[in-house]
Amino acid sequence: MAQTGRPGPRRSLAESDILAAAVGLLDRGGAAALSMRGVAAAVGVAPNALYTYFRTKTALLHAVTDELLGRVDLDHLGDPTRPWRDRLVRYALDVRSTLLAHPGSAPLLLNSPLDGPHALTAGEALLGVLDEAGLDRADAARASYLLLTYVLGTVAFDVAELEPGTDPLDDGTRTTARRAALTVPAERYPRTAAGIDVIAAYTSTGQYLWGLHRLLDGLDPLRSAE
Amino acid sequence: MAQTGRPGPRRSLAESDILAAAVGLLDRGGAAALSMRGVAAAVGVAPNALYTYFRTKTALLHAVTDELLGRVDLDHLGDPTRPWRDRLVRYALDVRSTLLAHPGSAPLLLNSPLDGPHALTAGEALLGVLDEAGLDRADAARASYLLLTYVLGTVAFDVAELEPGTDPLDDGTRTTARRAALTVPAERYPRTAAGIDVIAAYTSTGQYLWGLHRLLDGLDPLRSAE
DNA sequence: TTCCGACCTGTACAGTGTCCAGAATTTGGT
DNA sequence: ACCAAATTCTGGACACTGTACAGGTCGGAA
């Protein structure tokens, strides 16, 4: 179990320790609390020691995003007993709940190249499902990016207005809170005011699933007869 | 043309001056260059003077996002001589090109509540088009949020990997550059490797339009007969 | 055993958002 | 005409941030 045959003292930390500490800071305090010094203090080391493990803070953040993507369960995606559409919906819900459990993660994801191992694994599984659904290679790749942007973009918006450090609220209380905070002058924005109840529910799981299904409806005609 | 009847010396700046300076810093230097001190220096004032115009940096950023949204042309959206679908596509392209002209703006947008006057005006126009398309009130509101998240999420991803300070590249050179930087181990991610050409073009206008049309296809069945 | 490279620390630098006096200015009310 | 109140801006400061540099310490390879 020895390190590679390179000289020097053994590392006192594992990368996973650093990532775990980073996620911990992310949960309590949001993205603003995820500082080099904070992580260093959490793992009990001088701030600059982290630069032995990650060349820059951006590299650390990229590793954190991949770590979070790795926490999403991929089993449902590959389950061949369920229809492709159910699998995609299930996975999309898993991604959403995982990211909502870590508010502050969404802005990180949107600034990441998503080329880490977990991201690639998830993308590969996604392509597999879309292939089984009957899409050709090019359409499957385009569709996977479409799904990706939808999921991450939506979650980013949903999480943006969450106060960091507070526990994530359930749909109902969030919707009523949004509803109470929304005041739109009806004479200037009549349609907006008329749809205010739907708007208050924008951050709900219902809206998320509605959009996802419209998107899957749009993908359906691309399937070639099996 | 006097200010409101409140005491105190007249303000030496207009909010629009501050916003213009902020957008200028955003263009050259990206979001990182958009600092209070930078803006203050650009408008020739002490850093803390800005706090009389915006209570916090976040408030300034929100104002910047609304400013940028206001720069998108709304005329095509309201043009009743064109079919609703063309209008939406046209508007989506306008939003994209406007935001791509200001790299670094996308992360700001995703952290904004989008409740500024320009955002509301755009949302109102969007609801109008969807109404004309034959969607009922609730569906129109849900669809507008779906379109919004798609547009902003996609642009955010597209802009994320752009080096700040450099001029935006055209689709072709960006795709070839991405293609050159992409190296995926084919034995571990066979489908990903097979679709590498499509993946390289993820940030292109073609992929953007493709996704948008899938999305509009998904909305189409919701239209009730006129 | 010697040596070299990797690890970690202390220190430091430039920069960040924002708060706290205080000085200057303009208004409305008397 | 004067005063009080409210507002704008400045200088300075505080607690941070990411990260570069020099130096000490450790451990595997020659």
Say whether A120 and B184 touch across the interface (CB within 8 A): yes
pLDDT higher than 50, residue B174: yes
Give B191's contacts in chain A (Cβ within 8 Å).
124, 127-128, 131, 137, 140
Nucleotide in closest CA–C1' contact with A9: D26
Of A1-10, A208-217, B40-49, B182-191, give the lowest mean pLDDT range: A1-10
Residue range A171-179: mean pLDDT, rounded:
94
pLDDT of residue A163: 75
| Distant-in-sequence, close-in-space partners of A1: CB < 8 Å, separation ≥ 6 | none
Q: Say what the pLDDT of residue B42 is.
A: 98
C-beta of residue B146 within 8 angstroms of C-beta of residue B215? yes
Task: Render pLDDT for B33-67 as a digit per residue (tens, 0 to 9).
Answer: 999 999 999 999 999 999 999 999 999 999 999 99
Assign A225 a pLDDT band (cuts: 50, 70, 90). Answer: low
CA B108 / C1′ D8 distance in Å: 29
Average pLDDT over residues B18-43: 96
* Amino acid A47 CA to nucleotide D18 C1' distance, rounded Å: 10
Q: What is the pLDDT of residue B4?
A: 67
Query: pLDDT at residue B89 above 90?
Result: yes
Contacts of A37 (CB under 8 A, 6+ apart): A47
Residues of B205-224 as b/e, b for ≥16 C-beta within 10 angstroms? Answer: eebbebbbebbbbbbeebee
Stated length of chain B: 226
Cα dist from B206 to A6, A152, B92, whole Å: 48, 20, 13
Does the structure show a pLDDT above 60 at B90?
Answer: yes
Res. B1 pLDDT band, cuts 50 70 90:
very low
Identify the residue with better confidence: B100 or A4. B100
* CB proximity list for B78: less than 8 A, separation 6 or greater: B87, B125, B128, B129
- Quote the pLDDT of residue B70: 97
Rounded CA-CA distance A24/A33 in Å is 10
For range A23-31, the mean pLDDT: 94
Protein-covered nucleotides of chain C (CB closer than 7 Å) are 3-12, 15-21, 24-28
Residue A122: CB partners within 8 Å, gap ≥ 6? Answer: A69, A72, A74, A77
Q: Which residue in B126, B191, B210, B222 has the most chain A C-beta atoms within 10 A of its own C-beta, making it the best mutation to test that interface?
A: B191
Q: Do residues B219 and A214 make contact, with C-beta atoms less than 8 angstroms apart?
A: yes
Pick A8 or B212 by higher pLDDT: B212
Three-class secondary structure of residue A193 per DSSP? helix
- Predicted confidence (pLDDT) at residue B226 exceeds the cutoff of 80: no
pLDDT digit string (tens) for A40-80? Answer: 999 999 999 999 999 999 999 999 999 999 999 999 999 99
Instruction: Indicate yes or no: pTM above 0.85.
Output: yes
pLDDT at A221 over 80: yes
Contact A133, A84 (CB under 8 A): yes
Q: How confident is the model at residue A153 (pLDDT cuts 50, 70, 90)?
A: very high
Question: What mean pLDDT is reported for chain A?
Answer: 93
Per-residue pLDDT, A70: 97
Closest-CA residue of B relative to A157 is B110
Percent of the residues in chain A that have a pLDDT greater than 70, as a whole number: 96
**Which pair of tokens denotes residue A188?**
């200037």
In terms of Cα–Cα distance, which of B92, B88, B213 is closest to B140?
A: B88
- B161 has pLDDT over 90: no
| Interchain pair B150, A149: CB under 8 A | yes
State percent of chain B over pLDDT 90: 85
In this complex, do A128 and B191 lie within 8 Å of one another by their Cβ atoms?
Answer: yes
What Rg value do the Cα atoms of chain A yield, rounded?
A: 21
Per-residue pLDDT band at B2 (split at 50, 70, 90): very low
Say what the pLDDT of residue A4 is. 66
How long is the CA A182 to C1' C25 vector, in angstroms? 38
Q: Which of A95, A114, A129, A145 best tests the B interface by mutation, with the highest count of B CBs <10 A?
A: A145
Band of residue A100 on the pLDDT scale cut at 50, 70, 90: very high
Q: CA of A36 and C1' of D17: distance in angstroms? A: 9
- The DSSP element (H or E) to which B60 belongs, if any, is helix B57-70
Which B positions 55-114 lie with beta carbon below 8 A of chain A?
106-107, 110-113
User: Any idea which of A72-81, A162-171, B42-51, B92-101 has the lowest mean pLDDT?
Assistant: A162-171
Question: Which pLDDT belongs to residue B114?
Answer: 92
- Condensed to tens digits (0 to 9), the pLDDT of residues A202-218 reads 999 999 999 999 999 99
The amino acid at B60: L
